[in-house]
Structure 1
Amino acid sequence: MEDHVEKFRQADALAQNILRLTRNTLLVNLRFLDLALSQFQLTSYPGTLATDGQHLFYDTYYVLSMYKRERGRNVRDYLHIVLHCVFRHLFTSANIDRRCWDLACDIAVESAIEDLHLESAACNRAYAQEETLKELRSQVRLLTAEKLYRYFLDRQLSDDQMARLRDPFLADDHRAWYLPVKSGQGAGGGSQSNGRTPETGTPGKQKSGRGGQGSRARTPKSGTERRDRDLEQTWREISERLQVDLETISRRHGTDAGNLVQELKAVNRETYDYADFLRRYMSLGEVTQVNQDEFDYIYYTYGLSLYGNMPLVEPLEYKEVRRIKEFVIAIDTSGSVSGDLVQRFVTKTYNILRQQENFFTKINLHIIQCDAEVQEDRKITSQKDFDNYLDTMQLHGFGGTDFRPVFQYVDELVRAGEFTNLKGMIYFTDGRGIFPEKKPDYDAAFVFLDDGYDPPDVPVWAIKLVLQSEEI
């Protein structure tokens, strides 16, 4: 028994040396990953490889066998795990479809590794991926985990299809991602007993309330109640620093690692709540409504006690609120903009505005369609008008794109007295057009759809908002 334990200790020491050598190999070739590579505490555990963001769980004999079979395999697997953390794939929503998410994450990191052209990470697995990556790149513009996740969800692949697709990209066990982290632990710290172990709970046991295999969920976002906030913040800071480094100091690597840079931009992109964004265009006005905020209970109860049922003060029957009153929605109907997306955008905007706390009873809303010239202006004065517009909505134009005619047209409406206090305009577009040179007298925002490429720059006076397709 003691001889067996001693042999395991020797084997484990050798496995740890291999992992440290692997890490050093990556440090030499990818210096911009120095901080990320130093985060893990090596923890021996039966299985293959896994991480929870704090520990690198490894099976001693698995590491030794992989090193003996293919030395590049250890390097690729280690980098695979590090990129999962850098892209914050571990921090997902609780109701995610784990099959699709695991597959999407593995393909995303392997695509990024392939983009680095790292000779020390070459192994047979890379050759088996080529055909799948080529096909996916023709279907999905940018192979980020989020876009791949949506792509696979929409296709409703069977378990067997998922398994076949994932096999060439599989490098680690993801079960540790879906387990709780004890608070107060950051990446790279703690002992083995304070962290998680990959086997605690299986995908089958996680099905209820953890995004089991049968669930279909929205695209996952970083930040989850099941994860330690300090750990996520640590990796967020590493990710943001890495992006800055790639775009500045390590520009050479940034040029060679396009998918890595694009994935970092997507992960670190600031997210917006479109409803909150619309509220910046609200105006102050009075509505008929009991104003409990300015109601004085002292005088009310004093009057009841003094005169029986005679209060000295009643609640005000009106109050001042901020709601949408005058507004312009401009729609780019050029040939490069999808009609389905336009209708979804207008519908989403309407669903936000029709909420009682956002809409005045009487409004002055203009929905303008424009390509290289103004094609249609529909005036909306009530919720009923908006309902009728959605029922009969037809797109016009499909020519070139020029933003200037809409601004000129709205300026003419303002001069003609059509608007008395226009708060702003939202222009939904793909961005490929001519912007006005001068700032209008009202706020203007350009809303772009994230299509995998950087949206164009807007004038300094304009607001830029980028939305994911699932946010529309």
Structure 2
Amino acid sequence: MHTLLHCLFLHPFASPGQNRARWDLACDIAAECIAAELCGPRPGNANGGTEYALGRICGALQQIPLTAESVFELLKTGRFVDDEQEWQQLFCVDDHRFWYERPDVRSTAGAGAGEGHTEETPDSESEAETQPGGESPDDTPDKGSGHFKSPKNAWQYAAQSITSSMKHQPASPQSGWGRNLSGLFANLRVAPRSYKKPALDEFLRSFATFEETPRPSSDEFDYALYTYGFALYGDTPIIEPLETRDEKRIREFVIGIDVSGSVWGPMVTRFAQIVQGVLCNEGLFSSAPRIRIIQCDTQIVEEDVIDTPEHMRKWIEGLRLHGGGGTDLRPVFQRVDELVEHGEINDLNGVICLTDGYANFPKCATPYKTAFVLTPDGAQNLVPPWAMTFMLEEEDFRST
């Protein structure tokens, strides 16, 4: 992700002149910062050295977004000259030598863009008003032209495609971006969009995946050809109706419930009823479902496996909460990893945890879709940025 962000932010295509080392450091700081926002902290950074350094840099930038260009300008002031060597060890995780050993980008870009095309550098006075490398925001590469053959323009095209998607789709925690990702928007030169918060049932439906079900698909069945076969042959249709169709279902799913003292009683019961309504009333239960419900405070205190809609109904009717101590959700994810490793979970749709947010969370992003549903007074700012978040409100219970 770190290296991919370098390319999308066009870091390799600027010419830092005599300040190559500082430009490399500025690019690494910006890429590592955004990669951490997207994926969570890098493993092995337990001492928090990068977080401390980023805090100092953001403090010095004040309200200026953290980008390679803004950090580069900050480093040029010499304010952090004594820290640069230490920061290089913290943030340098890939090799930049190929940025400077490739064919001359200026001549390649110039051949496609026309005579007179020049490339700005981070040292130029107009850098703050241009895109990285001096490209104008309106200089959109044509995918079918020779201009697109430049590596720089190929990556610029990819970055602009992402930007276009962000401009035309509402940002939300459900979509995976829109919260704690202001740095990504700043580096891609696009402002985050506001969004309308989805209802809880809609949020839960986002975990369903397509599954082949034994039902004819009227959308894919051609009645004209079917009846023409009877007209042509008497008793033989040309096409038999399709015996299956793809529908969104939830097959393997894990629900973690924070049973600390602050998450208790009616809140948990109502949440379970909403989940039951979405799974049962909207036909999201798979033909062979395995819904695991894990209660956890500082350790797992109860685990149930639901395999039918009727079983789900009876579980809610006889719901008993255990625990009541502190809050540590890491055992839930350790249990899920154990089940996956032993082959008891083969096609996990996702993990969703009900909590107040005042908990210990996994440091790194999970390889499966993860969401935390927070109680109305939950601490959203404590939830790791790599996970989806849904803040419960009273209207969520009324609407469902």
TM-score by length of 2: 0.49
Q: Highest relative contact order (Cα 8 Å, sep 6+), 1 or 2?
A: 2
TM-score (norm 1): 0.41
